[in-house]
């Protein structure tokens, strides 16, 4: 039997790679993709814990998380397209509307 820690380490690694990619990528689509990668890592951890703790609640949580992910991605992608129609850009650095004006950038 595979130790639980291995599954959790794998999940943590996938989550961490997603987080890292969100921090450094400029492309909004890649950022949303990294978000999905992070969610996949979390779900993997939930299911692994559910299996090793003999409790099916972890799978129920993972099911909820998958459903909410579907909704959030739909909104995120439609916002992305609306933003693209407005600014002709999917660069994350262009999203500076709400920033306070500063003397020297």
Partner 1 sequence: MIYLIFAYFCASMIGITLMALTRKNPVHSVLWLLLLFLHIAVLYLFLNAEFLAVVQVIVYAGAILVMFLFTVFLLGAKELPKGKRYTDLPEGKALIGLSLTGVFIGAFSSITTAWKGKYTIEYIEKIGNTKALGVMLFNEYPLAVFLLGIILLIPMIAVAVIAWRAK
The contact mask relative to partner 1 for 54-83 (x = CB under 8 A, - = no) is: xxxx-xx-xxx-xxxxxxxxxx-xxxxxx-
Judged by CB under 8 A, does residue 26 bind partner 1?
yes
Judged by CB under 8 A, does residue 95 bind partner 1?
no
Residues 6+ apart with CB under 8 A from 12: 41, 45
Distances (CA, A) of 55 to 4, 17, 63: 14, 28, 14
CB of residue 31 vs partner 1: minimum separation in angstroms?
A: 10
Number of residues that bind partner 1 (CB under 8 A): 75
């Amino acid at each position: 039997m595979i130790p639980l820690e291995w599954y959790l380490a794998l999940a943590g690694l996938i989550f961490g790679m997603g987080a890292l990619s969100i921090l450094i990528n400029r492309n909004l689509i890649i950022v949303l993709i990294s978000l999905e990668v992070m969610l996949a890592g979390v779900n993997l951890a939930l299911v692994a814990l559910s299996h090793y703790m003999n409790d099916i609640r972890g799978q129920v949580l993972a099911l909820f998380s998958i459903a909410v992910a579907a909704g959030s991605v739909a909104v995120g992608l439609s916002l992305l397209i609306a933003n693209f129609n407005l600014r002709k850009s999917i660069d994350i650095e262009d999203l500076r509307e709400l920033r306070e004006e500063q003397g020297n950038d």
